[in-house]
Amino acid sequence: MRYFKMLLLITVVSAFLFSCAKPPVKKYSDAQKSVNEAWAVDADKCAPKEYAAAKKSFEEAEKEMEEAKNHTFKGKYYDRAEAKLEEAKAKAEKAKKVAQKRKEAADKIGKDLDEMRDELDSIKDDAKKYDPVAYAEAEALYEKAQKAVDDCKPGEANLLMTQLEEKIAKIKENIAKAKAEEMKKALEKEKAAKVENYTVVKGDCLWKISELKYMNPFMWPLIYWTNKDMIKDPDLIYPGQVFKIKKDFTSTEKYDAINFAKNRGPWSLFDGK
């Protein structure tokens, strides 16, 4: 009988304790704060998996606490809620750390990307002129990389930025090649404009050609020096030969030619000197 009364007492006391179990308010507040802090550092975007896991645990804890309202003995529901709240807090802290790390990495890449934007703008005019297709591809890469930064995906953004860097380097190389080719053609054109072709006719000699083209027969050595690949002996030229007549020469070249002609003379056979 005494045993029965004691058992009854224990049961009543236990029922009282369980029925009077308190909800884990402090842990609920702590977990909620951690989840909110994770959200504040963009964990929903920068650490979506970790944030989703924390939020799920928190919501499960809320369900347990809500379910406790429907039962007399609330203890087991509050215990499960407490465990879920601790889990939610730990996951939220992890989500916050992951988000902060990824956000810092994305921000750094974003700064580097801003420099690349400036670089793209600096070559825009030349790139559109000499390599428009590659420039359009570079613009597309930039937009994708910027979106990856905005979406807090530093890994993807870094890969795209590397591709963009290579593309910009190639565009610069192509621009340099195109400009060099343009300059080469311009120099050739300029050079061609400073040279006149003259076809030798019967009875011609360098003396006569120089008088015709330079109004000074003593400048014939200038014609000789310009066409040494064709003239082996300045006293022997042949009809049909096409000589280049320099139209642009320095005063030094003119002086040297006249001095050579006056000392050597156009009338004697070439002595090889």
Residues 163 and 114 in one domain: yes
Residues 166 and 197 in one domain: no
Establish if 122 belongs to a structural domain.
yes
Shared domain check, 33 and 97 = yes
SS3 236: strand
Do 158 and 124 share a structural domain? yes
pLDDT tens string 178-189? 999 999 999 888
Confirm whether 271 is domain-assigned. no
In a domain, 186, yes or no: no
Does pLDDT of 36 surpass 50?
A: yes
Whether residue 149 is predicted with pLDDT greater than 50 in this model: the reply is: yes
The answer to whether residues 74 and 126 belong to one domain is: no
Instruction: Please give the pLDDT value at position 20.
Output: 55
CATH of the domain at 229: 3.10.350.10
Would you place residue 5 in the very low, low, confident or very high pLDDT band (cuts 50, 70, 90)?
very low
63 lies in the same domain as 46: yes
Domain termination residue (choose one: 179, 204, 224): 179
| Closest to 39 measured CA to CA, from 91, 109, 87 | 91
Mean pLDDT of 127-154: 96
pLDDT of 255 > 70? The answer is yes
Residue 151 has pLDDT above 50, yes or no: yes
Question: Does 11 score more than 70 pLDDT?
Answer: no
Residues 173 and 112 in one domain: yes
Domain count, the chain: 3
| Burial class of residue 249 (count of CB atoms within 10 Å of its CB; 0-12, 13-18, 19+) | middle
pLDDT at 189: 83
pLDDT at 51 over 60: yes
pLDDT in tens, 77-122: 999 999 999 999 999 999 999 999 999 999 999 999 999 999 999 9
Residue pLDDT, tens place only, 194-214: 888 999 999 999 999 999 999
Whether 168 is in a domain gets the answer yes
Asked whether residue 129 is assigned to any structural domain, the reply reads yes
Closest CA to 175 of 238, 130, 210: 130
Q: Find the mean pLDDT for residues 257-265.
A: 84
Three-state SS at 122: helix
**pLDDT above 70 as % of the chain:** 89
Mark which of 40, 74, 101 sits at the end of a domain: 101
| Mean pLDDT computed over 50-63 | 96
Binning pLDDT at 50, 70 and 90, where does residue 222 land?
very high
**Could you give the CA distance from residue 43 to residue 176 in angstroms, rounded to a whole number?**
45
In a domain, 16, yes or no: no
Name residue 198's beta-bridge partners: 243
Shared domain check, 160 and 209: no
Q: Is residue 41 part of a domain?
A: yes
Pick from 179, 205, 231: which residue ends a domain? 179
Q: Which residues pair with 246 in a beta bridge?
A: 195
pLDDT at 258: 92
Range of the domain at 97: 22-101
